[in-house]
Amino acid sequence: MATAPPSTYSAVTLNINGEKHTLTVDHRTTLLDALRERLDMTGTKKGCDQGQCGACTVLIDKRRAVACLSLAVAAEGREITTIEGVAEGDQLHAVQQAFLDLDGYQCGYCTPGQICSAVAVIEEHAAGWPSAVTDDVRPEAGPPPLTPDEIRERMSGNLCRCGAYVSIVQAVARAAEADAAARAARAEQGTEHEGAAA
């Protein structure tokens, strides 16, 4: 008796921006197509569809990923953040605000991917991750200065066909400064709470 061939479809539950979405997808469906075509989350853009332009960059477990090369079935059980989930309610993320303030966009098509990538860049830098242009890569050296060269290298996977790179670098630098100040304030607040508890 012949057995039926295995189905090429599976039900997956994707945790996107803190909400769970269950859908049945072909195993070959990319995360990008699941987001745009099945869930109507069109903030993530389809550019080259080959992983080269970065327009579809999202965060998976807080790390950058190009959604056009990520399979939806492989993202099950992971925390996915798209551009729609970067802000805290009505409060823009520091990267979003910096892009607005410094005109880090022109047509805006690449902007969602640029912003998601920049959010991860700032986290990676704060964690001390080196880049290809980092002079001292020893862990004890700590995070390197976030120079324009560092930012350009770290953001190099995101292309802007309009050429807004100067403003993008400035926006990432400003957002990184805001993030560093917020981290310092949280650390100071934690020290004050420890002192009050003692």
User: At 188, which amino acid appears?
Assistant: E
DSSP 2: P
User: What is the rounded average pLDDT of the residues 127-142?
Assistant: 90
d(CA 168, CA 121): 13
175 Cα distance to chain centroid: 14
Q: What is the pLDDT of residues 58-109, one digit of tens each?
A: 999 999 999 999 999 999 999 999 999 999 999 999 999 999 999 999 999 9
pTM exceeding 0.85: yes
State how far the alpha carbon of 135 is from the alpha carbons of 98, 145, 153, 176, in Å.
27, 10, 13, 20
**Percentage of the chain modeled with pLDDT above 90:** 83
191 pLDDT above the threshold of 80:
no
Strand ranges across the sheet with 9-16: 19-26, 9-16, 79-81, 57-60, 63-66
Q: How far apart are CA 155 and CA 177, in angstroms?
A: 17
